[in-house]
Each structure stands twice: as structure tokens, then as C-alpha cells.
């Protein structure tokens, strides 16, 4: 019998203590939400992650906003909850299990995007092996939401909650704590009114777990959903409904964070500025409230014009990051369905320079029909445009994306099944067709193109000097620059272990 079949009221006496008895006990939450390791690469063995630890430079590791939203709703419903960010704490599997043993939760919720699915699976398997029916294990997050059949292929998770589940999850948990038997899959409707959600609770996060290599920042989301249909993106598999928070609620949250998390804000919206009116009201609010902020966001080049960037600058914007993906306009728009012209990109970058805002471009290598000549345009585009930073990745094929369906139709490859084997540790990352390889190339060619792009871009005197000048004041920043430079030179990427 699977643990999922066992109602919680049958648990042993220690863990069967009622919710109200337990809520006063420090470190004994009913629910423990876990952000697992993000691993794309094996260290030495396929299946043994027991002592795996992320090493090298981790950049952009921020407190897990999604789990904070869920925790806030659970608390509002009177359910005790803790959050363990195993990734940020750099916990090995054993350390994570030890923390679980200390906390004795009755339900564990693991949230996983595809890069984390292996860490999530291995953790859940160990929890089931060591704690059996005493702990119910739930899987949530983008991977299972985009591939619900994942649950048919694994048995270490007792149940899954799909989609944006903040409003449904407390009811599910209450039912289980009262002895209910979990359904295998719960589907959630995306919240329509984002202001009805509790503001993420950041109270228990230790700032020292984050920003070991970066200056502190905090993240806020002003909208959910994205109306665009880029073929490599799985966002729409969860929902493509765009919803906005009220500017007042966003501004209040920023004000609270400013007191504790420093003055650097990252807007985590899929695309900030989709609604000019909404973004304008927030940015004007930042100015009106005299918030001393520096902020950055992901956006799209065609949304930027002189008036908008002027407002961005006056409200504290220091960097804009654009998803460009390919240096070939034809590929970008006809194949990727990105619908951003070369002219819009040139214009946005030029406005950034004029207004003293850093600009960065995201690139991907490997799309259907991509030629070597087109890939070379991508390799050179950041350097040619004179932006301040670039990131370049082979195109990963994620569940729920149009690219995943194309791969299935054209080549008969079921990448979702491969990701499951990868999660189980029966196949390594290198053994699954996780990257889209165009006809006239192989993986090595793409990896070499990536190295070329980084070396051409970053190993120029002007770029090296700009980074040194910027980071001169901080030994921490200089050390990070040195490690990244070595990794770029040796491996063609910014970290040893993270793809
Ligand atoms: S890549 Fe960005 S812009 Fe494109 S669909 Fe996904 S979230 Fe939207």
C-alpha cells in the first residue's frame, strides 16, 4: 500500500498529535515547505546525491517567493508552517533529512521547477524510505504542473498540487490533518484577484543564507501570467491568464521590504511593463513615496520607449534584462514566436545607454531549423550591440512547451519520460535529449558556440575594466568576479555545477 492510501489519523502516536497541540511547539510545524537542490549535473555517480553539495558561484539565489506566498496563506488559515530552503543553505540530502527529523512535520511540500526535479525526487524517495507513512509528501511547482503524468511514473510523492495553489492548499492540508486520504492530483484555478492573496511572509528568512556572492536584494512580483507564446517556454502550461496586483499593494510590500532587505529590488514578473498603465502607476508611486530604490526587471525590448525609460530611470531602475534568444530576426520571430524586431532591440539598448541604465540580453542556442550562420549571429550579438552583460544557454526542452511537443511530433522523442528517468537518477543529464539540437549540429558544437559567445563578450578590456570598476569597493564582489572569470575561461559558463 502506498503511503498516500493511509489516512493521517493512522499515524503513530508521536506524529498524530493534533494540529492545535503542535502549533505552540517551536520547530514543529504541521507543514514544512522545501526548496530542493537545483541539479542539472552529476558529480560522479548517477544516483547518489547523498552528499552532493552545490559549489562554485551561485548567482541569483533569492528567497523562494512562491513558497512564501503559500506559507502566508497556510498561516492565515491557522496552520503552522516552516520553510526550508535547502538550495540556499547548500544542504546535502543528509542535512536536509536531518532538518526534517528535527522539525517533525506531518506534511512536506516540495516545489520544483525542472532543474530541481532530480533533487525533489531523491529527497521524496528518502523521506518515504526513512519516515514512511508518518509524513505525507506533496509535489508542486512548474515541473509537475506542466507534466501531471509525472505522477503516474513515480511513487515517492503522495500527492501533487498543480498550478498556482495558494488558495486551495490550506483546505487540502486541513483535510489531510483531519485524517483525510489525499487524492493523487489536485488541480488549482489560478487566483483571479491577486490582492486577495496574503503578502509573502519573509519573517523567517536569514539574509545570510543568500547573497553570499552578491549584494542583498529583495524580490517582488506585480503581475502573474504572460500573453506571449515563445515556443521554448512552459509558462502557458500553467496559465496564460494575465493578472495584476493593485499598485498600492505592490508599493506597500516594497516599503516593508526596504526596511529589512536593503534597497535593491528585483521585479520577478515574467515580463515587467506588459501593461504600461500598471507599470507607470507603480513607478510613479515609487517616486511619490520617495522610496530610495535601485531596481531591475525582465522585460521585452518593444515595450521600451523614451517616456517609459525616463520614468524607469527616475524611479531607480539600474538595469533592464531583455529576452532576445536569437541573433537572427527570422528565427526569433518566425520560429520562436518571440515577435521582437532587431530594430526594437537596438532602440531599447540605445535608450538604456542614453539614460545610464545597464542592459543585458538573454540568448539561447539550438532551435528548429537554426543554421550555423544564424547561431553565429547569436554568438556575436551582445558584443556587437555593446550591452553590459549577456547570458547564453543551450535551449533546454521543458515539459509543457511547444518545443517539447515539436520534439515529440518530429522526432518521436518523449522528453517528459526522459526527465522522469533523469529525476530517478537512472539517466544522467548528459544522457537525456534535454537540449534541442538542430539538424546540422551536435551538442558539442552548441557548447563550443556558448563558450565562444562568453569569451568574445567578457574577455574584452572594456568589459573587464567596467566590472572591476563597478566592484572595486567590495572584496566580495571582486572575489566573485575572479571565480566567474575562471569558470568562464575553463568551462565557458559562470558556475562549475549549474548549467
Ligand atoms: S519566455 Fe517570457 S515572454 Fe515568452 S512566453 Fe515565456 S514568460 Fe512570456
Q: Whose CA is nearest to atom 4 of ligand 1?
A: 230
CA of 398 to the centre of ligand 1 (A): 13
Decide: 322 in ligand 1 pocket, CB within 6 A. no
Strand partners, 435: 396
H-run or E-run covering 373: helix 372-385
Decide: 228 in ligand 1 pocket, CB within 6 A. yes
Instruction: Give CA–CA dist 81/295, Å, rounded.
Output: 31
Question: Residue 31 corresponds to which cell in the numbers above?
Answer: 507543514
Q: What is the pLDDT of residue 12?
A: 32
For residues 271 and 226, the answer to whether their CB atoms sit within 8 Å is: yes
Decide: 67 in ligand 1 pocket, CB within 6 A. no
* Residue 453 binned pLDDT confidence (cut-offs 50, 70, 90): very high
**In terms of pLDDT, which residue wins out, 399 or 260?**
399
Q: Say yes or no to pLDDT of 123 above 50.
A: yes
Q: What is the pLDDT of residue 429?
A: 81
Instruction: Give CA–CA dist 46/44, Å, rounded.
Output: 7
Q: Say yes or no to pLDDT of 222 above 90.
A: yes
Decide: 270 in ligand 1 pocket, CB within 6 A. yes
Q: Which of 221, 231, 235 for mutating ligand 1's site (highest number of atoms within 8 Å of CB)?
A: 235
Q: What is the pLDDT of residue 13?
A: 27
* Residue 25 binned pLDDT confidence (cut-offs 50, 70, 90): very low
Three-state SS sequence of 64-111: CHHHHHHHHHHHHCCCCEEEEEHHHHCCCHHHHHHHHHHHCCCEEEEE
Q: What is the pLDDT of residue 81?
A: 96
Q: What is the pLDDT of residue 7?
A: 32
Decide: 238 in ligand 1 pocket, CB within 6 A. no
Please give the average per-residue pLDDT across 26-47, as a whole number.
Answer: 68
H-run or E-run covering 270: none
CA of 372 to the centre of ligand 1 (A): 25
> In 3-state terms, what secondary structure has residue 159?
strand
Q: What is the pLDDT of residue 22?
A: 41
What Rg value do the Cα atoms of the chain yield, rounded? Answer: 23
CA of 25 to the centre of ligand 1 (A): 43
Q: Which of 221, 323, 326, 339 for mutating ligand 1's site (highest number of atoms within 8 Å of CB)?
A: 323
Ligand 1 atom closest to Cα of residue 233: 6
Cβ-based neighbour number of residue 28 at 10 Å: 19
Decide: 423 in ligand 1 pocket, CB within 6 A. no
For residues 136 and 158, the answer to whether their CB atoms sit within 8 Å is: yes
Q: What is the pLDDT of residue 43?
A: 39
Q: What is the pLDDT of residue 18?
A: 36
Q: Say yes or no to pLDDT of 111 above 70.
A: yes
Mean pLDDT taken over the chain: 86
* Share of residues in the chain with pLDDT > 90 (%): 70
Question: Residue 4 corresponds to which cell in the numbers above?
Answer: 498516500
**Looking at residue 331, what DSSP letter applies?**
I
Cβ-based neighbour number of residue 252 at 10 Å: 14
Phi/psi at 114 (5° precision): -55, -40
Q: Whose CA is nearest to atom 3 of ligand 1?
A: 228
* Residue 428 binned pLDDT confidence (cut-offs 50, 70, 90): confident
Closest alpha carbon to 363 in 211, 340, 462, 470? 340
Q: What is the ipTM of this complex?
A: 0.99
Q: What is the pLDDT of residue 15?
A: 32
Phi/psi at 376 (5° precision): -65, -35
Instruction: Give CA–CA dist 462/409, Å, rounded.
Output: 46
Cβ-based neighbour number of residue 482 at 10 Å: 12
**Looking at residue 435, what DSSP letter applies?**
B
Q: In what order do the strands lie in the sheet with 294-299?
A: 218-220, 264-267, 294-299, 317-325, 358-365, 389-394
HSE value, Cβ hemisphere, 13 Å, CA-based, for 106: 30
Q: Whose CA is nearest to atom 6 of ligand 1?
A: 233
**Domains in the chain, ordered, with CATH?**
3-194 (3.40.50.280), 215-396+435-458 (3.20.20.70), 459-499 (no CATH)
DSSP string, 382-400: HHHHT-SEEEEEE-B--TT
Strand partners, 445: none
Decide: 235 in ligand 1 pocket, CB within 6 A. yes
Instruction: Give CA–CA dist 417/150, Å, rounded.
Output: 8
Instruction: Give CA–CA dist 421/297, Å, rounded.
Output: 35
Instruction: Give CA–CA dist 128/136, Å, rounded.
Output: 8
Instruction: Give CA–CA dist 406/411, Å, rounded.
Output: 8
Report the Cα 293 to chain-centroid distance in Å. 23
Ligand 1 atom closest to Cα of residue 270: 7
Residues belonging to the chain: 499
Q: Say yes or no to pLDDT of 64 above 50.
A: yes
HSE value, Cβ hemisphere, 13 Å, CA-based, for 374: 20
Decide: 218 in ligand 1 pocket, CB within 6 A. no
Amino acid at each position: 500500500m502506498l503511503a498516500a492510501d493511509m489516512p493521517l489519523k493512522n499515524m503513530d502516536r508521536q506524529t498524530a498529535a493534533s494540529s492545535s497541540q503542535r502549533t505552540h511547539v517551536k520547530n514543529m510545524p504541521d507543514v514544512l515547505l522545501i526548496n530542493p537542490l537545483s541539479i542539472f549535473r552529476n558529480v560522479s555517480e548517477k544516483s547518489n546525491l547523498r552528499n552532493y553539495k552545490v559549489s562554485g558561484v551561485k548567482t541569483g539565489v533569492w528567497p523562494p517567493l512562491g513558497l512564501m506566498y503559500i506559507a502566508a496563506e497556510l498561516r492565515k488559515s491557522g496552520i503552522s508552517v516552516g520553510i526550508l530552503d535547502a538550495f540556499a543553505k547548500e544542504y546535502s540530502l543528509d542535512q536536509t533529512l536531518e532538518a526534517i527529523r528535527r522539525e517533525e512535520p506531518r506534511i512536506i511540500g516540495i516545489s520544483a521547477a525542472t532543474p530541481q526535479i532530480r533533487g525533489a525526487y531523491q529527497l521524496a524517495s528518502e523521506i518515504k524510505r526513512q519516515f514512511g507513512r508518518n509524513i505525507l509528501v506533496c509535489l508542486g511547482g512548474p515541473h509537475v504542473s506542466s507534466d501531471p503524468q509525472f505522477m503516474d511514473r513515480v511513487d515517492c510523492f503522495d500527492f501533487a498540487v498543480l498550478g498556482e495553489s495558494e488558495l486551495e492548499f490550506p483546505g487540502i492540508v486541513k483535510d489531510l490533518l483531519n485524517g483525510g486520504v489525499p487524492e493523487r492530483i489536485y488541480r488549482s484555478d489560478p487566483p483571479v484577484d491577486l490582492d486577495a492573496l496574503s503578502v509573502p511572509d519573509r519573517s523567517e528568512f536569514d539574509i545570510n543564507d543568500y547573497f553570499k556572492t552578491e549584494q542583498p536584494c529583495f524580490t517582488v512580483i506585480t503581475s502573474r501570467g504572460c500573453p506571449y507564446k515563445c515556443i521554448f517556454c512552459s509558462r502557458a502550461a500553467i496559465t496564460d491568464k494575465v493578472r495584476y496586483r493593485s499598485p498600492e499593494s505592490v508599493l506597500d510590500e516594497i516599503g516593508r521590504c526596504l526596511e529589512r532587505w536593503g534597497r535593491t529590488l528585483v521585479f520577478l514578473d515574467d515580463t515587467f511593463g506588459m501593461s504600461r498603465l500598471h507599470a507607470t502607476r507603480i513607478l510613479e508611486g515609487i517616486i511619490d513615496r520617495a522610496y530610495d530604490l535601485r531596481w531591475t526587471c525582465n522585460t521585452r525590448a518593444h515595450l521600451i520607449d523614451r517616456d517609459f525609460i525616463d520614468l524607469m530611470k527616475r524611479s531607480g531602475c539600474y538595469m533592464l534584462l531583455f529576452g532576445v534568444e536569437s541573433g537572427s530576426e527570422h528565427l526569433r520571430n518566425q520560429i520562436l514566436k518571440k515577435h521582437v524586431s532587431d530594430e526594437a532591440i537596438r532602440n531599447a539598448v540605445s535608450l538604456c545607454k542614453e539614460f545610464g541604465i545597464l542592459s543585458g540580453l538573454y540568448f539561447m542556442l539550438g532551435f528548429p531549423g537554426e543554421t550555423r550562420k544564424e547561431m553565429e549571429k547569436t554568438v556575436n550579438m551582445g558584443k556587437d550591440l555593446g550591452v553590459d552583460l549577456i547570458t547564453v544557454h543551450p535551449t533546454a526542452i521543458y515539459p509543457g512547451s511547444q518545443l517539447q511537443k515539436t520534439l515529440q511530433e518530429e522526432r518521436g522523442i518523449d522528453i517528459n519520460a526522459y526527465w522522469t528517468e533523469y529525476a530517478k537518477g537512472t539517466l544522467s543529464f548528459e544522457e537525456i535529449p534535454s537540449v534541442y539540437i538542430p539538424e546540422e549540429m551536435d551538442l558539442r558544437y552548441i557548447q563550443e558556440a556558448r563558450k565562444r559567445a562568453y569569451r568574445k563578450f567578457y574577455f574584452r578590456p572594456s568589459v573587464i575594466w567596467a566590472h572591476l570598476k563597478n566592484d572595486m569597493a567590495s572584496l566580495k564582489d571582486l572575489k566573485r568576479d575572479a571565480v566567474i572569470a575562471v569558470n568562464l575561461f575553463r568551462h565557458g559558463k559562470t558556475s562549475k555545477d549549474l548549467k
